[in-house]
Amino acid sequence: MKPLEGIMALPYTPFNEDFTLNEDAVRREIDWVIKQGATGIWPGTFAGQWPEMDEAVRKRHLEVCIEHVGGRTFCAAGCHATNTLTSIRLANYAEKIGYDCAWISPTVPRRGTDEEVYEHHRMIFENTGIPIALYDSSPVGTYMAPGLIKRIAALSDNIIAMKAIVSDICHIAGMYHLGLGEKFSIFGVEWNMMPHLQFGAPGALGGSDWIPIMVAVYDAFKKGDMEKAWHLQQIIISQSPLLIPRTAAMAMGSRIDHSVVGYMKAKFFYMSGIDLGPPLPPYKAATDAENEKAKKAVAELNRVAKPKE
């Protein structure tokens, strides 16, 4: 298996104006993040709109990604679903076409009990053979406390990694205290990567537009330059502040003024020059105000970690 370390990309999903998969843009996005230093590709993200994509389109997207990577990096297939049986089908398909692992989360949007989340994972482990990466999908899904993750981890020796997005420091410390980092590789994301790195994580995961600055954080950390690493982490947090706005937007009765996906695609375009097309309906492209915000965000990121041409 390819090394599980470094900064790995969570790509968005490009679409044409008629909402078909833009396979050329898929390939260009992969090439771009690898050039920026990404050591892995994890397609099938929530930001990439897996809940809005038909299963056939998801499979084709996975095919295009693994074919174009061509063995250059580690590849994890996003096999999240609204039900357990779909996750099993996708994981078995990912194994068939050559992925290094299947990346799974609890089902969304309906939130299961701890026992239902446990059963979801048990069924997947018993009906698949591919290595598995876990995903604590809160706040967009179900919160998995460290104790629940430990119970799930005890079900299988086939777990090799986990994407850990919760930023509460007690939650993060609890995972390592329970020895989960010794059982499999834990990867933080852009807004919590430094705490995870300091607890011993081998790298982090982030959206395509975050890869240049995340690589800069990782490089500074590996060199022992903690002042620079934490300075860059603070810049990331200033633009992606510990999920607080996203968490607030999930609350019942909250006002949703944009779908997030359009803004992220706009931000990636201003950084890379690659047009990822519109979000899938009913979600909207970035507004004029969001485009201006994206330009300013990219200018700040480029100032501290300019992408490779």
**Residues 190-227 pLDDT 10s:** 999 999 999 999 999 999 999 999 999 999 999 999 99
**Number of alpha helices (DSSP H) and beta strands (DSSP E) in the chain:** 13, 8
Look at residue 111 in the predicted model and tell me its pLDDT: 84
Measure the CA–CA gap between 43 and 31, rounded to whole angstroms: 13
**pLDDT over 90 at 239, yes or no:** no
Strand 6-10 versus strand 203-207 pairing type: parallel
Look at residue 167 in the predicted model and tell me its pLDDT: 86
Domains along the chain? 6-304 (3.20.20.70)
Strands (E), 137-220: 159-164, 185-189, 203-207
Look at residue 248 in the predicted model and tell me its pLDDT: 56
Residues 169-184 have a mean pLDDT of 96
Look at residue 252 in the predicted model and tell me its pLDDT: 57
For residue range 103-142, what is the model confidence (pLDDT) as tens digits? 999 998 888 899 999 999 999 999 999 999 999 876 566 8
**pLDDT over 90 at 271, yes or no:** yes
Question: For 60, phi and psi rounded to 5 degrees?
Answer: -65, -40
Intra-chain end-to-end CA distance of the chain, in Å: 30
Measure the CA–CA gap between 211 and 121, rounded to whole angstroms: 30
- Look at 83 and 109; give whichever has higher pLDDT: 83
- C-alpha distance from residue 186 to each of 9, 32, 159, 176, 197 (Å): 15, 25, 11, 9, 9
**pLDDT over 60 at 287, yes or no:** yes
Residues 56-84 have a mean pLDDT of 97
Encoded amino acid at 298, one letter: V
Measure the CA–CA gap between 173 and 65, rounded to whole angstroms: 34
Q: Report the chain's mean pLDDT, rounded to a whole number.
A: 93
